[in-house]
Amino acid sequence: MNMAVTVEDLQDLLSHENAFTRPFAFRVESIGDGVCTLNVPFLREWERPGGIVSGIVFMTAADVAMWLAIKTKSGLADPSVTSHMQTSFLRSAKRRGFLCRATVLRVGRRTSYGVAECVTADGVLLSHHTLTYVRPEPR
């Protein structure tokens, strides 16, 4: 793990006034070497009819958790961006938050690959995601 990266550093990326993630109110729960777990709260503005949490929330949580997991390996300045994401929705969350844990499986020179899973507080699998990130060539 890049010891220069802390939970607080990653939370600052999610919470600063211009952060694209602010509307989701994600909280960094824990980090490890190539791993990041987010606490994803239930927010009414992301509720679909019937109280179901929108798929947008699951996909964004997985994407952000992977972005942060890569930073635990490569540092805060890593410029990697999503190039591919595949999502399988397995169960819905109804008017409740969940956890999303991303794990980096491989970091290459230009690409990183990993998986993310969104689960209930008691461990029920809600969605599974595979993600590929690319590190842009310096200009």
Phi, psi of 85 (to 5 degrees): -145, 135
Per-residue pLDDT, 3? 56
Q: How confident is the model at residue 16 (pLDDT cuts 50, 70, 90)?
A: confident
Smallest CA-to-CA distance from 99 within 44, 46, 36, 37 is with 37
Enumerate residues 6+ apart whose C-beta is below 8 A from 113: 104, 105, 106, 130, 131, 132, 133
CATH number of 7-134: 3.10.129.10
In whole angstroms, give the CA distance from residue 76 to residue 70. 9
pLDDT digits (tens, 9 = 90+) for 82-105: 999 999 999 999 999 999 999 999
Does residue 138 register a pLDDT over 80?
no
**Cβ burial, residue 38 (10 Å; 0-12/13-18/19+):** buried
pLDDT digits (tens, 9 = 90+) for 42-52: 999 999 988 89
